[in-house]
Amino acid sequence: MQYDKEFLIGFYRTMVRIRNFELKAEELFLQAKLPGFIHLYIGEEAIATGAMANLRKEDYITSTHRGHGHMIAKGADVNKMMAELYGKETGYCKGKGGSMHIADVSIGVLGANGEVAGGLPIAVGAGMAIKMQKKDSVVVSFFGDGASNRGAFHEALNWASVYRLPVIFLNENNQFASTERVSETTSVQNIADRAVGYNIPGVIVDGNDVIAVYEVVKEAVDRARSGGGPTLIEAKTYRIKGHFVGDPVLYRNESEVNEKWQFEPISRFESTLFEMGMITDAEKESIWREAEQEIKNAVNFAEKSKYPEPESALQDLFESDTGYDY
């Protein structure tokens, strides 16, 4: 496929924005400025970026505990994201959710999810809604290799297949579920092989190749929009950082990580762009500088924002009443 320069630079910019957000989140967490847990998407940026380039605003996604990249690629406001990581009242969830519960229903993000595989049934439901409304929207459900061992994954794929729902199940196989290597816990070599059991297409893609991801997701999205039902895509990648910031990482050695770092998606795509003559040093510099500035502004916004009033903890349970005082 031929792509124009602006389109490809768009991929690069999104990945760089995600990378900068994540590097800053890591730094802030290590400085003890952020409470809770942070799961970084570093090294996996190509998946969210390539996938989301196929989506419209009214398409839905369900995300995971490692969800910052999905949010940014779907068009979320990084100020509100950063403020949420700080637990500030200007955050996406007014400080009630934190990193693992960021959502923006207005742009179709039906939630990050603190429960592994928690998003898959939700994605199926959104798919049922689309079908009943006779729309041509789609849902992309992101989930990890570990999540594919939960019952919810199997129930969701069977269900989506039976009803031919417009749901793309996008597995991010980063080789680990916290401390456990996928090969130790998973009955198949390729998670995509599980598609056979549900009579749907199963596709493997290099998750560190943004164009490849874009193309396989495009095929699946086109099929889903035209009533062809769900697809399982396994994007093979590697989790460069620990499971969470602060992970002692006792389950692998540094040399393995260094070797995998050679294949990380941003510098790989950068080389491609240079080879194709699609980017100059100056353009590259300015994309990085802009991203750094954007994230700096987000940190500024978050730090200047107030913590929520303690009493606001009693709001937002229900739409119609408070729900705590009886």
Partner 1 sequence: MKEITFSEALGEAMLEEMQRDPTIFTYGEDIAKQGGIFGAYKPILGKYQDRILDTPISEEVIFGSALGASLAGMRPVAEFHFADFLFTGMTAVANQIMKFKYMTGGQGKIHLILRGPDGISKSAAAQHSESIETLFMHIPGIKIIVPSTPYDMKGLFKTALKADDPVICFEHKMLYAKKGPVPEEEYYIPFGKADIKKEGKDVTVVTTSRMVHESLKASEQLAKEGIDVEVVDLRTLVPWDKELVLESVKKTHRLVIAHETWRRGGWGAEIAATVQEEAFDYLDGPIMRVGAKNVHIPFSPPLQDFVVPDYNSVINEVRKVLNV
Ligand X SMILES: Cc1ncc(C[n+]2csc(CCOP(=O)(O)OP(=O)(O)O)c2C)c(N)n1
**Closest to 128 measured CA to CA, from 156, 168, 171, 160:** 160
User: Using the rule CB under 6 A, which residue among 102, 124, 147, 245 binds ligand X?
Assistant: 147
- Shorter beta-carbon distance to ligand X: residue 42 or 52: 42
Which one of partner 1, Mg ion, ligand X, none is in contact with 2 (Cβ closer than 5 to 8 A by kind)? none
Q: At what angle do helices 119-132 and 151-162 cross, to 10 degrees?
A: 10
Q: Which stretch binds ligand X (CB under 6 A): 23-31, 140-148, 288-296, 313-321?
A: 140-148
Output the CA–CA distances (angstroms, integers) from residue 42 to 9, 100, 156, 219, 287, in the order listed: 19, 16, 28, 26, 18
User: Using the rule CB under 6 A, which residue among 12, 169, 176, 198 binds ligand X?
Assistant: 176
Cα Rg, the chain, nearest whole Å? 19
**Closest to 116 measured CA to CA, from 75, 82, 67:** 67
- Shorter beta-carbon distance to ligand X: residue 63 or 90: 63
In this structure, what is the dihedral angle of CA atoms 43, 47, 49, 52, given to the nearest 10 degrees?
A: -160
| Strand ranges inside the chain, DSSP E | 60-62, 139-144, 167-173, 176-177, 180-181, 202-206, 231-236
By CB under 6 A, tell whether 305 contacts ligand X: no
x/- map, 64-93, partner 1, by CB under 8 A = ---------------------------xxx
Residues in the interface with ligand X (CB under 6 A) total 17
Q: Which stretch binds ligand X (CB under 6 A): 62-70, 184-192, 212-220, 267-275?
A: 62-70
Largest CA distance in the chain: 66
| Span 205-244, contacts to partner 1 by CB under 8 A | none
By CB under 6 A, tell whether 103 contacts ligand X: no
Which one of Mg ion, ligand X, partner 1, none is in contact with 147 (Cβ closer than 5 to 8 A by kind)? ligand X
CA distance 205 to 212: 7
End-to-end CA distance of the chain: 61
| Span 148-167, contacts to partner 1 by CB under 8 A | 151-152, 155-156, 158-159, 162
- Shorter beta-carbon distance to partner 1: residue 42 or 76: 76
Binding site residues, Mg ion, CB under 5 A: 144-145, 174, 176-177
Interface residues toward ligand X, by CB under 6 A: 39, 64-66, 114-116, 144-147, 174, 176-178, 239, 243
